Amino acid sequence: MTLRRRTFLGLAAGAAALPAASRMAQAQAYPSRPVRIIVGSPPGGATDIQARLMGQWLSERLGQQFIVENRAGASGNIGTEAVAKAPADGYTLLQIVTPHAINAALYTNLSFDFIRDIVPVTCVARLAYVVVVHPSVPATTIPEFIAHAKANPGKVNYGSAGPGTPQNIACELFKMMTGVNMVHVPYRGGAPATSDLVGGQIQVIFSPL
């Protein structure tokens, strides 16, 4: 939707005319009780760690508890649905990550409209990803790993935090670019995938630093 210049200026003037004292009182009143931060993945993963660090920082500065609540599953859709259905009062926040922008293209029966029902507040982090292999994989460089995967088509299993997550998308792009054949093993989050990598149940993950 585009706003005409006159309409925009009128809205801006109306906003500026609001009583300053009322706006300050509202700002000072929040938060007056604990705030939930919903994370759509299990404890221990990158998204969960970010949320807990941010929650601690906010709690120390605003004098109220910011409590992380994990609602794992469906690439974050379970947590997003919980936030979309919560009262729009600022006391239920959502830790948003890349899958939230991807899910609309992968799921056709969502009970919410991400663009309509979720309002962004701030960007708190940017992540890089690295390729991590189990010690049993005879590769210490990417070319060596590609050669190993090509020599063992369909025998290398890679883990991800679920369909449509950055780990999944990055590895599928890697497969397309290199022509290797690896099997996707989806998990409910990055932490369980990492645990199985350490245990040798899978051979590789594309992991956030």
The answer to whether domain 129-208 has CATH 3.40.190.10 is yes
Per domain, the residue ranges of the chain are: 30-117, 129-208
Domain 30-117 and domain 129-208, same fold? Reply is yes
Closest CA to 201 of 180, 183, 189: 183
Angle at 202 between CA 201 and CA 205, to 5 degrees: 145
Q: 0.85 exceeded by the pTM?
A: no
pLDDT above 80: residue 26 = no
- Evaluate whether 157 touches 167 at the Cβ level (below 8 Å): no
Q: What average pLDDT does this structure show over 24-43?
A: 84
pLDDT at 128 over 90: no
Residues 131-173 pLDDT 10s: 999 999 999 999 999 999 999 999 999 999 888 888 999 999 9
Q: Hey, what CATH class is 30-117 in?
A: alpha beta
